[in-house]
């Protein structure tokens, strides 16, 4: 015993003090830790299992779209066929859990205000190409959106009467030139789907001299005031569009 | 709910281009800016202490104890910004009782504890042990009791014991250097490992943080040393100031080179984020990046410090230049922290838009709270220095 004590005393005093203090601290930590850990901690994972019960006590607010389908299956079926299929019902109609419990007491809102739709559909250059966007100031300013657009099956009310709803600059350019009176479809073959997913259904662009020749060739049977060239010799091997800009074909002769 | 919508609408109106709704408001605010700033000061001040202890830079001896106490004062406050920002300080201990080894943030608690208890406190205690025993013997009443508690029961002031103190203290400093690196490198690691954020995600981040920490710590000690001498009406040891400023200059050069390397590397890699990042530093961060960080915080102090090394300048003018450099470098390092923390949240993850950070004055997200937190260590330091005077004339062991 005295040997052990001798050995202990041979250790410098500082080390003894510090070691004992650290040991006390460590032991207090290891045992004290148990007091501080909640009882149900670690039952399921790195969290307090009773927290799940606590969270369950918090009232539900959203019902989820499956709940909507139980009564409004026709609307859900219609919506699932159209562009808003990935937009949840409660995105527009608000939290609906209370409504599922007592439909008459808690009617849901139907947003009719113009300011609502433009949260997604106002023009913003950073939105993806082809995403339907409008300028709320100029786009039918007096009407509510739902007067023309059915939100569960959102299609433009009619095919844009003019291509200009998207290609405004081209239409303005056209308006200044001789091709003003021509419909876009005179030169471009445009599928109906182009209006919904433009990038997937690109319109055709004329690529041959003969195409322009159908109006501008000396042999063409078009109106006689239309300017004519001999498309065999005129411009040699160049395609018309390389010298003439078809949307504003003002050439000096 | 309504007021949240109003805030969101207001914030979105200040954004440019396209941002996601959850990016309109910044989640890490100015409290998270001062957190890496303070830990940086701690790590830097400790590195300075180690220069004297481990690398035997004798000129820096007057700053040795002072820098240990400064590191301690700032370390005691270092986690306060985090605690305040998380808004539940009463849960802070849980990271020790139920540690999550998968979370770098949770592991920081242990790094902090290790650094505070095993490195800093132990080293200070060993270094002051003989003095504390002496002060306990000389004083009376409450003061005596206080020092008696601080001795932790130790009485041995034999030459052998003092020599052991020195050896053991040196060992702790050697362990302390990687610990200080870990303490601040970790802060950089947290930012550098956010994969989704191109402004942060860089392996250089921990190293850049570390060197900027050393720069800020050295500059802080330059200021603390000069101010403490001014308050005590003592002369500055010019060879100490010269040496300290030399190290400051070297570290500033290394830090600047690393930052420049990081910057050029990003430019050369030219990943898809480069456009939004160049917009970011060209608009929202222009003042804090080009003016404050680069010009005020780096180039001007670099010129000042280089001047003092190349040209023969009188003592007074040199002191003015050192002091000015110290202040400017603090502004620069604060801007670095701002640019990293706030800058990293100003651009959208869609890489298509920028948001703004509007700071309030009062409240938990306000400007006054971080200012108070930044000032607190100075008061702690005043108290600590009163209790454990680090000055050569008070040092009884030598």
Cβ distance of B161 and A12 shorter than 8 Å: yes
Contacts with A46 (C-beta within 8 Å, 6 or more apart), sequence order: B98, B100
B216-253 in b/e form (b: 16+ CB < 10 A) is bbbbbbbbbbbebbeeeeeebbeebbebbbbbbbebbb
With a threshold of 0.80, does the pTM exceed it? no
Give the pLDDT band of residue A129 (cuts 50, 70, 90).
low
Q: Which of B94, B100, B126 sits opposite A14 (nearest CB)?
A: B126
Which chain A residues have any C-beta within 8 angstroms of a chain B C-beta?
12-15, 17-18, 21, 25, 29, 33, 36-37, 41-42, 46, 124-127
Choose the weakest-confidence range: A68-82, A120-134, B142-156: A120-134
Domain count, chain A: 1
Q: What is the DSSP string of A77-140?
A: HHHTTSGGGGS-HHHHH---HHHHH-TTTSPPP----HHHHHHHHB--TTSPTT---B-TTTSS
Cβ <8 Å between A126 and B100: no
For A200-220, what is each residue's pLDDT tens digit?
A: 889 999 888 889 989 998 888
Which residues of chain B lie closer than 8 angstroms to A13, CB-CB?
154-156, 161
Neighboring chain B residues of A28 at a CB cutoff of 8 Å: none
Judge whether B36 and B183 are in contact, CB under 8 Å: no
Q: Place B396 in a pLDDT band, splitting at 50, 70 and 90.
A: very low
Average pLDDT for A94-112:
91
Q: Closest-CA residue in chain B for A35?
A: B97
Q: Other CB atoms closer than 10 Å to residue A119's CB: what's the count?
A: 13
pLDDT tier, A192 (very low <50, low <70, confident <90, very high otherwise): confident
Which ipTM did the prediction report?
A: 0.75
pLDDT at residue B392 tops 70: yes
Q: What is d(CA B135, CA B139) in angstroms, rounded to the nearest whole number?
A: 6
Query: What is the dihedral angle through the alpha carbons of B333, B384, B168, B160, rounded to the nearest 10 degrees?
Result: 150
Can you give the pLDDT at residue A162?
66
Phi, psi of B390 (to 5 degrees): -90, 10
- What span, in angstroms and rounded, lies between the C-alpha atoms of A138 and A136? 6
User: What whole-number percentage of chain A has pLDDT above 90?
Assistant: 26
Alpha carbon distances (Å) from A23 to A26, A27, B171, B173, B394: 5, 6, 20, 22, 33
User: Chain-wide mean pLDDT for chain B?
Assistant: 90
Would you say residue A168 has pLDDT above 80? Answer: no
Q: Are A65 and A88 in contact (CB under 8 A)?
A: yes
Query: Per-residue pLDDT for A139 more than 80?
Result: no
The per-residue pLDDT for B397 is: 42
pLDDT band at B40 (very low <50, low <70, confident <90, very high): very high
pLDDT tens digits along B148-201: 999 998 888 888 889 999 899 999 999 988 888 888 888 899 999 999 899 999
Mean pLDDT of A158-179: 71
Contact residues for B359 (Cβ-Cβ < 8 A; gap 6+) = B29, B30, B365, B366, B367
Q: Would A216 be classed as within a structural domain? A: yes
Q: Over range A186-211, report the average pLDDT.
A: 86
Q: Give the domain extent around A247.
A: 183-253
Q: Across the interface, do A36 and B164 touch by the CB < 8 Å criterion?
A: no
Contacts of B98 in chain A (CB under 8 A): 37, 41-42, 46
Q: Compute the distance between CA of residue B172 and CA of residue A22 in angstroms, rounded to an integer.
A: 15
> Given an 8 Å threshold on Cβ–Cβ distance, is B100 in contact with A12?
no
Q: Which of A38, A122, A126 to mutate to test the interface with B (most CBs of B within 10 A)?
A: A126
Mapping DSSP to helix (H, G, I), strand (E, B) and coil, where does residue B158 land?
Answer: coil
- Find the radius of gyration of the CA atoms of chain B: 23
Q: Are A134 and A122 in contact (CB under 8 A)?
A: yes
Q: How many angstroms separate the CA atoms of B216 and B210, rounded?
A: 10
Given a contact cutoff of 8 angstroms between Cβ atoms, the answer to whether B43 and B210 are in contact is yes
How far apart CA B374 and CA B381 sit, in angstroms, is 12
The whole-number pLDDT of residue A127 equals 75
Helix (H) or strand (E) holding B353: strand B353-354
> Is B126's CB within 8 Å of A15's CB?
no
pLDDT, position B398: 40
Smallest CA-to-CA distance from A120 within A151, A76, A81 is with A151
Q: Which residues of B174-210 are buried (b: 16+ CB within 10 A; e: fewer)?
A: eebbebbbbbbbbbbbbbbeeeebbbbebeebbbbbb
pLDDT tens digits for range B320-339: 999 999 999 999 999 999 99
Test B155 with A41 for CB contact under 8 angstroms: no
> Is position A253 within any domain?
yes
Please report the pLDDT score of residue B395 as a whole number.
52
B312 C-beta neighbours (distance < 10 Å), count? 6
Residue A245 pLDDT > 70: yes
- Residue A251 — pLDDT band, cuts 50, 70, 90? low
pLDDT at A136 over 90: no
Computed over every residue of chain A, the mean pLDDT equals 84
Of B117, B129, B350, which is closest to A14 when you measure between CB atoms? B129
Q: A10, A11, A14, A125: which to substitute to probe chain B, counting the most B Cβ within 10 Å?
A: A14
Confidence of residue A122 (pLDDT cuts 50, 70, 90): confident
Q: Two tokens at B76?
A: 């005691």
For chain A, what percent of residues have pLDDT higher than 70? Answer: 94
Task: Indicate yes or no: CB of B165 within 8 angstroms of CB of A14.
Answer: yes
Candidate from B94, B97, B152 with C-beta closest to A21: B152
> Which is nearest to B388 in space by CA: B65, B164, B48, B47?
B65
Determine the Cα–Cα distance for residues B360 and A86; give it in Å rounded to an integer: 38
**Which whole number is the average pLDDT over A39-51?**
90
Amino acid A75: pLDDT: 93
Which H helix or E strand runs over B16? strand B16-17
Task: Summarize the confidence of residues B301-328 as an average pLDDT.
Answer: 95
Does A36 contact B94 at a Cβ distance shorter than 8 Å?
Answer: yes
SS3 B38: helix
Q: Which residue from B156, B118, B65, B169 is spatially nearest to B384, judged by alpha carbons?
A: B65
Instruction: Give residue A250's pLDDT.
Output: 66
Q: Which two three-digit tokens encode residue A61?
A: 């607010």
Residues of chain B contacting A41 with CB distance shorter than 8 Å: 98
B interface residues, A as partner, C-beta within 8 Å: 17-18, 93-94, 96-98, 100, 117, 122, 125-126, 129, 152-156, 161, 164-165, 168, 350, 352-353
Q: Which residue has the higher pLDDT, B242 or A33?
A: B242
Within 10 Å of residue A183's Cβ, how many Cβ atoms? Answer: 10
The pLDDT value recorded for residue A123 is 81
How many Å apart are CA B335 and CA B36, to the nearest integer? 12
Cα–Cα distance measured from residue B182 to residue A93, given in angstroms and rounded to the nearest whole number: 52
Residue A64 lies inside a defined structural domain of this protein: no
Query: Residue B3, exposed/middle/buried by CB under 10 A (0-12, 13-18, 19+)?
Result: exposed
Phi, psi angles (nearest 5°) of residue A122: -75, 150
pLDDT tens by residue, B231-271: 999 999 999 999 999 999 999 999 999 999 999 999 999 99
Return the pLDDT at A124: 77
Lowest mean pLDDT of A92-101, A108-117, A236-245, name the range.
Answer: A236-245
**pLDDT average, residue stretch B126-141:** 91
Question: Which of B17, B97, B164 minimises the CB distance to A14?
Answer: B164
Comparing C-alpha atoms, which of B267, B292, B300, B298 is closest to residue B343?
B292
Query: Is position A174 within any domain?
Result: no
B100 contacts A17? CB cut-off 8 A: no
Question: Which residue in chain A is spatially nearest to B155 when comparing CA positions?
Answer: A13
The residue ranking higher by pLDDT, A244 or B242, is B242
Is the pLDDT score of B134 beyond 50? yes
pLDDT at B393: 67
Query: Residue A47 pLDDT more than 50?
Result: yes
Inside any domain, residue A26: no
Three-class SS state of A41: strand
Contact A33 B96 (CB under 8 A): yes
> Which residue has tokens 């100075």?
B378
Contact by Cβ (8 Å): B187, B111: no
- pLDDT-based confidence at residue A252 (cuts at 50, 70, 90): very low
- Dist. CA A100–CA A108, nearest whole Å: 10
Q: How does residue B7 score in pLDDT terms, banded at 50, 70 and 90?
A: confident
Q: Is residue A200 part of a domain?
A: yes
Q: Mutating which of B154, B162, B165, B171 best tests the A interface, going by the most A Cβ atoms within 10 A?
A: B154
Q: What is the pLDDT of residues B261-292, one digit of tens each?
A: 999 999 999 999 999 999 999 999 999 999 99
Q: Do B18 and A126 touch (CB under 8 A)?
A: yes
Percentage with pLDDT > 70 across chain B: 98
**Looking at the predicted structure, is the pLDDT value of residue A160 above 80?**
no
Q: Is A149 helix (H, G, I), strand (E, B) or coil?
A: coil
Bridge pairing between strands B353-354 and B16-17: antiparallel
Report if residue A86 sits inside a domain: no
Q: What is the arithmetic mean of pLDDT over A123-139?
A: 76
pLDDT tens, residue by residue, B135-154: 999 988 899 999 999 999 88
- The pLDDT, as a whole number, for residue B394 is 59
Helix (H, G, I), strand (E, B) or coil at B162: helix
Chain A neighbors of B161, CB-CB under 8 A: 12-14
Q: What is the pLDDT of residue B244?
A: 95
Q: What is the pLDDT of residues B356-381, one digit of tens each?
A: 888 888 888 889 999 999 999 999 99
In a domain, A89, yes or no: no
C-alpha to C-alpha distances, A96 to A68, A102, B5, nearest whole angstrom: 8, 10, 19
Nearest to A36 among B93, B350, B353 (CB): B93
Q: Is the pLDDT of residue A46 over 50?
A: yes
The Cα of A126 is separated from the nearest Cα of chain B by a number of Å equal to 5
């Amino acid at each position: 015993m005295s040997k052990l004590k001798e050995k202990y005393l041979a250790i410098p005093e500082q080390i003894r003090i510090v070691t004992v203090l650290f040991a006390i601290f460590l032991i207090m930590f290891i045992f004290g830790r148990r007091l501080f850990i909640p009882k149900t901690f670690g039952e399921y994972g790195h969290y307090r299992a009773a927290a799940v019960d606590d969270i369950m006590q918090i009232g539900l607010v959203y019902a989820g779209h499956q709940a909507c389908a139980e009564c409004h299956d026709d609307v859900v079926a219609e919506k699932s066929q159209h562009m808003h299929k990935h937009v949840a019902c409660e995105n527009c109609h608000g939290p609906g859990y209370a409504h599922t419990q007592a439909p008459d007491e808690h009617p849901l809102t139907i947003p009719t205000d113009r300011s609502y739709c433009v949260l997604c559909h106002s023009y913003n250059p950073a939105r993806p190409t082809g995403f339907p966007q409008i300028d709320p100031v100029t786009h039918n300013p007096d009407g509510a959106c739902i007067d023309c657009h059915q939100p569960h099956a959102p299609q433009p009310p009619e095919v844009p009467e003019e291509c200009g709803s998207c290609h405004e600059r081209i239409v303005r350019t056209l308006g200044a030139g001789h091709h003003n009176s021509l419909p876009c479809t005179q030169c471009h073959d445009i599928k109906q789907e182009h209006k919904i997913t433009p990038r997937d259904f690109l319109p055709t662009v004329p690529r041959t001299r003969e195409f322009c020749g159908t109006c501008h060739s000396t042999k063409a049977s078009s109106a006689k005031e239309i300017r004519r060239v001999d498309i065999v010799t005129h411009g040699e091997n160049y395609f018309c569009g390389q010298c003439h800009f078809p949307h504003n074909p003002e050439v000096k002769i | 709910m309504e007021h949240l919508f109003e805030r969101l609408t207001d914030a979105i109106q200040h954004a440019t281009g396209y941002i996601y709704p959850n990016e309109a408001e910044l989640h890490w605010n100015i409290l998270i800016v001062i957190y890496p700033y303070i830990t940086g000061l701690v790590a830097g001040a400790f590195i300075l202490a180690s220069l004297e202890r481990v690398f035997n830079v004798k000129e820096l001896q007057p700053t040795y104890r002072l820098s240990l106490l400064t590191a301690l004062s700032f370390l005691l406050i270092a986690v306060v910004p985090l605690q305040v920002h998380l808004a539940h300080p009463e849960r802070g201990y849980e990271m020790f009782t139920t540690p999550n080894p998968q979370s770098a943030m949770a592991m920081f608690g242990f790094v902090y504890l290790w650094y505070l208890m095993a490195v800093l406190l132990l080293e200070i205690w060993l270094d002051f042990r003989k003095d504390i025993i002496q002060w306990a013997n000389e004083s009376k009443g409450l003061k005596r009791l206080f020092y008696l508690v601080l001795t932790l029961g130790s009485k041995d002031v034999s030459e052998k014991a003092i020599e052991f103190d020195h050896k053991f203290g040196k060992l702790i400093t050697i362990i302390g250097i990687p610990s200080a690196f870990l303490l601040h490198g970790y802060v950089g690691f947290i930012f550098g490992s956010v994969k989704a954020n191109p402004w942060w995600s860089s392996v250089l981040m921990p190293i850049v943080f570390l060197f900027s920490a050393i720069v800020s710590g050295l500059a802080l000690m330059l200021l603390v040393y000069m101010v403490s001498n001014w308050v005590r009406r003592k002369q500055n040891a010019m060879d100490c100031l010269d040496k300290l400023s030399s190290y400051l200059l070297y570290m500033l050069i290394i830090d600047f080179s690393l930052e420049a390397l990081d910057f050029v590397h990003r430019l050369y890699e030219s990943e898809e984020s480069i456009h939004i990042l160049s917009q970011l530093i060209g608009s929202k961060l222009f003042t804090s990046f080009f003016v404050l960080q680069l010009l005020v915080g780096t180039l001007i102090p670099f010129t000042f410090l280089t001047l003092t090394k190349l040209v023969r300048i009188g003592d007074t003018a040199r002191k003015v230049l050192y002091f000015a450099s110290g202040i400017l470098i603090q502004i620069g390092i604060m801007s670095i922290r701002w640019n990293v923390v706030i800058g990293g949240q100003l651009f959208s993850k869609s890489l298509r838009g920028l948001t703004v950070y509007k700071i309030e004055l009062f409240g938990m997200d306000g400007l006054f709270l971080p200012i108070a937190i930044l000032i607190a260590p100075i008061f702690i330091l005043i108290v600590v220095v009163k209790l454990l005077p680090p000055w050569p004339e008070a040092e009884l062991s030598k």
